[in-house]
Structure 1
């Protein structure tokens, strides 16, 4: 359930809401299609639409006689253009293109400008609502502007993206696991449990062993649908095309998400990593389906976290996400080719076994629509926040990553914060990488005497290829397991999937894994760099001032 609307917002809405109760609650002025026939306006309300009109100052539209609204109505410029992009017809269209869609009554030409324009909603000729851009919303191609709880655009939403609300599920059974120690055996058990169908959404899939498991499921009559990212960083590897060829040859539907002509990819990257089995369980991990991410038992690989949630309600939630993401004009069959070749492997003695826990509380986390739940998790910490991430990138405006900033604020109120980052060469070779991030965090902690520490993992001591997890443990009882990297793109523009698990047993399990990695790693930035301390102190003052301004506003 979404959080209740604050009383002051309700009062504001009462002051501006037209007597009919109809409001503009969404619009998209800058689409990807040529000449933008699919631009649209969304109205919300109930009752008659008599007397309701919309204008941009150059043209206006009003509804045909007898028109009414029951919750929501979409007015598109052209129904045919809207249909090509969204797969459904709008409720009304401005230009006559489809016989089944009622035409608006036009005066002049209402055509929303991309970068600067306004819409006015009128009731019986009197303006009752105005939305203007760039003043009230930021213009961006493909962005669907939407009104939620009295505010425009609480997070980015692009054409075709979903809008799932947060939900929490109680009394859930789940199995916890980590890579490289025991992920393979849990993935194997999950696939072997399938009787009817598996839906899998994966950023990358090159693992020949897991491909063989899924081929075996196909052989015993289990249906299989796989959605892959069509344009991963570095391109689709030949090994993935070999997996696609093998599984599609066995009857699986293997699809890719990517831009196809005017059908723009709805997410920057489809970066999720989960499987839904029989609408009964969902396996979710921080790792791609690669041999380094899910290594066979006794082999080295990445540090990753995962959960196998055995709960029909949670599975149904993720199946809904999968269905929403696997349909549309940006979804095409994945081209197959090549051969599956196992990679060379290094042996490693596993330290952690899977753990099954009962009675947990599970909250799905999706980017972009519910990624703010991660901020809520961190902001609610009372004793400790332990963070293990592949990397942390500062925000595009140069300020600390939003999640890191929230953790720093928690440290300022006395919460023990530890940050463990990857130290592989590709995350430390540049001048603004994990080692500099860890040193900056430690300098800030020294400058303010905060209970805040950061380290880069000692991969050799820990027996890991790299740290690839995206995990957070709060107060040893709440755990985030997610595909979301800590950068702005992941939170705002990717499809990411994760869960927050509330369970003291889960907290202890992943805290044990974190502690093992932490203790095997040396402190970062132990040599005091005066410049870093000064910079940290200046930024601390800036952040404190920003917090004061937010509180005053």
Structure 2
């Protein structure tokens, strides 16, 4: 068995089985086990990994003898089995298919693999994908109920059903105090088969960080980092098609550097014209390329690991996010963190998703040339060179959807902001009312922190017939908060504002997160929050430069008008004085 597979299996065991579930001390429980997780709509053909789990939330061991689970069409009957406090047990349709999906065998199954310790029990259930009921009984008496989809079953259940699960979604209990309604199953984070469960970590180190930005200094700085790599270059990106990167990557491969490229297999709108050939060249120079698939809607993260350096960005590796000519391209932030422990954290994310991805077959190199016909040139005036910062840094990785909502260090930073929060974001979905960032920013402004939100102004982000960035600006203005400001950028040479970053007092957050529900709840995303005053000032200067493109004309005009009025008033006063003296 490959080491990567072993790591993945161990990780999935940790996610799904979690030997003991932490039960909140302030919750009051009944006297029985509860339905804990239900997987009714699997990705797999045949759906043999469908499962139901129950948990013991009480303070004593429960014997499952006499318990059963039914969906009113079939029923399974548990044999004598001791379930300790805080422990869960699993029933699956097929023990082997369950193991393939989750990395360990269930306690019970209808179809049992001969090599497993899974117990075969009487009866079977086959849950409907979009509507059904799961009823836990003891000696025929209802103990707990889950109703989902448009099922109209209501015995032991009140109110509306739990929303029908999407493909691959695991319904998971949120409350161990049983209310017998959908609130028990409502959570800010949806759970899907195969998702990871990375947790927040804090890293403190004294060393170097390199700050840079698109379009000013991104291509030059990234290729310099590639040219210095000695052992590995692992790139995990949404899309990659800038053929100008190939020569540097080819030289790295000749030096013996291991190159791995992990990209989204089905980006919105499909791969760009040059992406298949870019990926084919990576394979041709000796690199390895894989394409991501389920369980995420999109693998939208943008980071790279070069030896012990971690690069995190808001940009893809295309012609606008990583422009060769820095007079053309998007505004986006980049950062390179030179710390072994930080890179080890992101490496775990990369390797986990790498082991779940499929191989890219590639195309014949002879079918196309390396050189692109042109290098896009724009009229932006580059101003911000990369800068190396030596000092003490505190770093918090942010991985979505694992902790993009709950336990997110970024949300904590917003809640603790005292002075200012400066935001550049490509798109903000105003219809996502549960947006924790927006709520945090409004609250920060009400506390007295100055909050500025700058959004992209491309045509598709300010269309009159849909709710988008210009409507977001009007919404912010309508709140009437003195410390809360929002504008769309006057691009003035930039292709678009593609950033997804913040400066919060003396920290900076750089990420791939767009402000919509999918990005926070269903995409693989990655970001980093890093504390260092001088570093934050670097990105703050860029922000005020960009904000100036939307506000400076108005401010400058007011200042000029004031000067003109003052000057004219002075001339009038002087002439009046001269005239009066003559009289």
Common fold: TM-score over 0.5: yes
**CA deviation map 1:284-323 (0-9, x unaligned):** 1000001211123643211100111112221111111112
Query: What does 1:281-430 align with in structure 2 at a 5 Å threshold?
Result: 281-296=309-324, 298-328=326-356, 331-336=358-363, 338-340=368-370, 341=372, 342-346=374-378, 348-357=380-389, 358-372=391-405, 373=408, 374-396=410-432, 399=433, 401-430=435-464
Is the contact between residue 293 and residue 304 of structure 1 (CA under 8 Å) also seen in structure 2? yes
The answer on 1:245 being equivalent to 2:245 is no
TM-aligned CA distance change 1:193 to 1:49, over 3 Å = farther
* Aligned residue in 1 for 2:163: 138
Q: Distance in 1 between matches of 2:146 and 2:172?
A: 11
Query: What does 1:80-91 align with in structure 2 at a 5 Å threshold?
Result: 80-84=96-100, 86=101, 88-91=103-106
> RMSD value over aligned CA atoms?
3.3
1:251 is displaced (CA, Å) by 1.6
* Aligned residue in 2 for 1:106: 121
1:474 is displaced (CA, Å) by 1.5
Is the contact between residue 247 and residue 254 of structure 1 (CA under 8 Å) also seen in structure 2? yes
1:469 is displaced (CA, Å) by 0.5
Is the contact between residue 231 and residue 256 of structure 2 (CA under 8 Å) also seen in structure 1? yes
Q: 2:259 aligns with which of 215, 224, 228?
A: 224
What SS is found at the alignment partner of 1:484?
coil
TM-aligned CA distance change 1:26 to 1:455, over 3 Å = same
Task: Please tell me whether Structure 1 or Structure 2 has the larger radius of gyration of its CA atoms.
Answer: 2
Q: 1:489 aligns with which of 513, 518, 522?
A: 518
1:348 is displaced (CA, Å) by 4.7
Is the contact between residue 190 and residue 283 of structure 1 (CA under 8 Å) also seen in structure 2? no
1:513 is displaced (CA, Å) by 0.8
What SS is found at the alignment partner of 2:247?
helix
TM-aligned CA distance change 1:87 to 1:303, over 3 Å = same
TM-aligned CA distance change 1:50 to 1:17, over 3 Å = closer
TM-aligned CA distance change 1:54 to 1:244, over 3 Å = farther
Q: 1:26 aligns with which of 19, 24, 37?
A: 37
1:488 is displaced (CA, Å) by 1.0
Q: Name stretches of at least 5 consecutive residues in structure 2 with no aligned partner.
A: 1-21, 150-159, 177-183, 556-583
Q: Distance in 2 between matches of 1:103 and 1:458?
A: 63
1:271 is displaced (CA, Å) by 0.6
Q: 2:69 aligns with which of 55, 61, 65?
A: 55
TM-aligned CA distance change 1:489 to 1:212, over 3 Å = same
* Aligned residue in 1 for 2:6: none
**CA deviation map 1:326-376 (0-9, x unaligned):** 223x52325336444153223654311223333211111122121122433
Is the contact between residue 75 and residue 90 of structure 1 (CA under 8 Å) also seen in structure 2? no
Q: Distance in 1 between matches of 2:102 and 2:210?
A: 38
Is the contact between residue 53 and residue 91 of structure 2 (CA under 8 Å) also seen in structure 1? yes
Q: Distance in 1 between matches of 2:553 and 2:64?
A: 66
What SS is found at the alignment partner of 2:341?
helix
1:266 is displaced (CA, Å) by 1.1
Is the contact between residue 484 and residue 490 of structure 1 (CA under 8 Å) also seen in structure 2? yes
1:23 is displaced (CA, Å) by 6.5
* Aligned residue in 1 for 2:502: 472
Q: 1:169 aligns with which of 203, 207, 231?
A: 203
1:428 is displaced (CA, Å) by 2.2
Q: How many residue pairs align between the two structures?
A: 499
What SS is found at the alignment partner of 1:436?
helix
Q: Distance in 1 between matches of 2:37 and 2:481?
A: 46
**CA deviation map 1:266-288 (0-9, x unaligned):** 1111111111123x221110000
